[in-house]
Amino acid sequence: EPAMAETAPAEAVAAAGGVGGEAAPAGAFPSQYDESGMRSVDREEESLRGAQLKLACSMPDGSVQNVSCFMGNDVTYAKAQLARALDIEYARIKLFLDGKLMFDPLSFNDFPGIEQSATKEVSITVQIDPEQ
C-alpha cells in the first residue's frame, strides 16, 4: 500500500495533462481547460445548447422581429423574448412554422424543418391574440 500512495500523485499529474510532454505550453491554460480554453462543463453545455438559431418572426403588422436563440431552447424561450421586446403578455403570442402551431414545451430540435435548415435562419409567423 505505501507504493500506491507514492504513485497516486504522479497519476494525478498525468491525468491532469502531465507536467511536460504533450501538455500545453506552461501558463497557456490551467489544467481544467483544454487547448481551446474551454472546460469540459462548457463543452457539454455547448453541445446541449446546440447550434445558434436566428428566428425571423413575421409580425401581424408586417414588421419582422429577430430572435436569437439556440436549437436546444424551447418555444417558450422565443415567445418570452418576443413578449419582452414588444411589451405584451406572453400568453397572447402564438408562433407558427409552415402554418403549424409551435407548442411551448417543444424545443427547436423537435422541428424537422429547423433541424434540417443549413443556415439555421428560420421564418416564423407570429399571431398576437387580442387582449382579454
- Residue 42, pLDDT above cutoff 60: yes
Q: Tell me how far apart the alpha carbons of residues 5 and 112 are, in angstroms, rounded to a whole number.
A: 54
Q: What is the pLDDT averaged over residues 35-58?
A: 78
Q: What pTM value is reported for the model? A: 0.66
Report the distance separating Cα 91 and Cα 112, nearest Å: 25
Q: Which residue has the higher pLDDT, 44 or 69?
A: 69
Burial class of residue 104 in the structure, from the number of CB atoms within 10 Å of its CB (0-12 exposed, 13-18 middle, 19+ buried): middle
C-alpha cell at 113: 424543418
Mean pLDDT of 93-108: 95
pLDDT of 5 above 60: no
- Fill in the DSSP letter of residue 129: P
Identity of residue 5: A
